[in-house]
Amino acid sequence: MIKRIACLPLLVLLFSMAKAQKSIPVEIDRKPFADNAGHWYSIYDSKNMINASPDRPRYTSADLKQVADNILLFQKANGGWPKNYDMFAVLTPEQKEAVKAQRNTLNTTFDNGTCYTQIRALAIAYASVKDERYKDAALKGLNYILEAQYANGGWPQYYPIEKNYSRYITFNDGGMTGIVDLLTDIHEKEPLYDFIDATLRSKLQTAYQKGIDCILNTQIVDNGMLTAWCQQYDEVTLQPAWARKFEPPSICNGESVGIVFFLMSIKHPDERVIKAVNAALKWFEVSKIHNTVVKTVKAEKMDTPFRVSKSDRVVETDSTAAPIWTRFYELKTHRPLFCNRDSKVVYSLAEVDRERRDGYAWYTYAPQKALDAYAKWQKQLTANSTALK
């Protein structure tokens, strides 16, 4: 049975290998909700149930009941949540009524940290105020997670399943690992989830194990070499798949770092997990790009159908630069890969249309964080092995 250390945020800078006893939080942290809130305040969408009102106040992390009530309000009839709303917003009566009116519109998702973040927040609120509504909503959310899981252990980006790429198993933005991380806390008997009965806990345990299997089964073997992961996978074949038109099937270093940190947080990893981590770290080493820096430069404002571009990005040679990685590496050739909105693959940032060039994270330093943590992880493995003898 796989056991894991305490829950770690994806792409963490500080990586602890010693399991610490968790105390029950007394506040609901805003940070896990930041992606959703950021989208709501920065992007007006006519399809939204409600849009952000200017200069409206927000609840604090200590306002447990008010935030939990918002989470109840936004929960859909199937137990899931829509993305890109602020759970800390002080809503007007009119906004609340508009949200209530669409409870049966099931645009529910795991994208941008949605669902598993709300479930944890409800558990925190229930532990503090013992309002049965929060427990019931958390349980409904957990059953939504169970219903959404594919037989192979993966989760789609949206459930109910849609006909577009959102049906694919999604690692982008920590979707898969965020769900499994929550299930791991339950598996590890974190006191926050003591309200879960034995029957549901058993189902969640099975979902957790299947999720781990899916993570390991989707690690890309390319040219006979075990490498890292793609952002999304076909839900039937488990092969890397296209997402948006500029996100081709490829080896994706940014998302892979989050997966590696999750796997390294397993306290007593089996040989499959150890092999997966070792291979991914070897891939990070061989895919390093040296003497390269990406700079943001001033550029004339450019309006496009997708966004307003106010700057540009250029790649320059710099012998003092720290190692960097591209977001995508081409399957088979392992060349750094870029792509335009017409799905045309190119091999330099300069060939990407400006709107995408400065509007997407084509380069990343994230693998260095995993490389920095790797020696400590190996040392802990050795210590654990010695202790068991």
- Residues 6+ positions from 74 with CB-CB distance below 8 Å: 81, 82, 85, 87, 99, 118
- Contacts with 37 (C-beta within 8 Å, 6 or more apart), sequence order: 30, 85, 86, 87, 88, 89
- Distance between CA atoms of 140 and 278, rounded to whole angstroms? 38
Which pLDDT value is given to residue 109? 97
**Structure confidence at residue 3 (pLDDT):** 45
Q: Given this model, what pLDDT does residue 22 score? A: 66
**Residue 384 is among the residues annotated as catalytic for this protein:** no
pLDDT (0 to 100) of residue 10: 39
| Whether 167 is catalytic | no
The Cα 297–Cα 311 span in angstroms is: 6
- Supply 324's token pair: 């960097």
Question: Taken in order 82, 88, 93, 95, is the CA torsion positive or negative?
Answer: negative
Identify the active-site residue in 103, 201, 244, 272. Answer: 244
The angle, 0 to 180 degrees and rounded to 10, between the axes of the packed helices 64-74 and 132-148 is: 40
389 residues of the chain, pLDDT tens digit each:
444 443 334 344 333 333 444 688 999 999 999 999 999 998 888 999 999 988 889 999 999 999 999 999 999 999 999 999 999 999 999 999 999 999 999 999 999 999 999 999 999 999 999 999 999 999 999 999 999 999 999 999 999 999 999 999 999 988 999 999 999 999 999 999 999 999 999 999 999 999 999 999 999 999 999 999 999 999 999 999 999 999 999 999 989 999 999 999 987 899 999 999 999 999 999 999 999 999 999 999 999 998 899 999 999 999 999 999 999 999 999 999 999 999 999 999 999 999 999 999 999 999 999 999 999 999 989 887 766 65
Single out the catalytic residue among 112, 167, 253, 313: 112
Q: Which of 111, 113, 133 is nearest to 122 (CA)?
A: 133
Predicted pLDDT of residue 382: 86
Residue identified by tokens 């899916």 is: 214
- pLDDT in the model for residue 385: 72
Phi first, then psi, for residue 52 (nearest 5°) are: -65, 135
Global pTM? 0.90
Cβ–Cβ under 8 Å, residues 233 and 201: no
* Domains (range + CATH), the chain: 21-217 (1.50.10.20), 219-389 (1.50.10.20)
Check residue 245 and report its DSSP letter.
T
Handedness of CA 264, 265, 270, 276 (dihedral sign): negative
User: Do the bridges between strand 169-170 and strand 232-233 make them parallel or antiparallel, or are there none, so unpaired?
Assistant: antiparallel
Q: How far apart are CA 207 and CA 227, in angstroms?
A: 25
Contact 246, 356 (CB under 8 A): yes
Give pLDDT, residue 43.
87
Beta bridge pairs of residue 317:
292
